[in-house]
Amino acid sequence: MYERGVAIVRWALRLIFGLEVTGLENIPREGGAVVASNHTTWFDPVAVACALDRPVHFMAKAELFRNPLVARFLRKVYAFPVRRGAADRDAIRAAIQVAGEGNLLGIFPEGTRGQGGELLPLQSGAVFIAAKAGVPIVPVAVAGVAPLRFRQRIVVRVGEPLDLGGPRRITKPEMEEASLAISKQFSQLLRRNID
């Protein structure tokens, strides 16, 4: 279901909006990775999934899983719930397992959608999960989806992977340093879209 759905939506995005993707060579061809993206609209997961050549397993807010039909659909497209506002140990364990088993794990480290395209401070969950799973973090910047307009180009830029080594425990200063590095890449990738 995932592959067929993504192929159809990708075709529609290219036709209606003009989907532009750069930096795909930074996504590992195999093995796990944490795909960390900026977050401005509900459409960001769709844009990221359509931009990448491999399936992405997204963490999605638990509220979306309250409706059984929506929950069933989300699980079919490899999403799993996370409770926001507190450390959701079950979701963190599931995320580490997903990435550790060689899949791409999609996370929005801002935690919620930013307004007006402004980056919010990054939470450290993406870095923690990548270190525990022993996989790289790949920053991905999405632009052109806020607001979504006909023939307005959607741009997805994939940044340089950040390898934390591992699997291992990671200290708080290391998490802060890695989160700052990801935030800087977001800014550079988004600025490149403007220039």
CA dist., res. 84 & res. 184, Å (int): 24
Q: Is 122 helix (H, G, I), strand (E, B) or coil?
A: coil
Each residue's pLDDT tens digit, 35-92: 999 988 889 999 999 999 999 999 888 999 999 999 999 999 999 998 876 678 999 9
Q: What is the pLDDT of residue 114?
A: 64
**Which residue ranges make up each domain of the chain?**
2-194
Residue, of 117 and 79, whose pLDDT is higher: 79
Task: Collect all residues with Cβ–Cβ distance below 8 Å to 151 and sequence separation of at least 6.
Answer: 16, 17, 18
Residue, of 178 and 84, whose pLDDT is higher: 178
Chain position carrying tokens 């307005």:
152
Each residue's pLDDT tens digit, 118-167: 777 888 899 999 999 999 999 999 988 877 777 788 999 999 999 998 89
CATH fold for domain 2-194: Glycerol-3-phosphate (1)-acyltransferase (3.40.1130)
Q: Does residue 195 have a pLDDT over 70?
A: no
Q: What is the pLDDT of residue 116?
A: 57
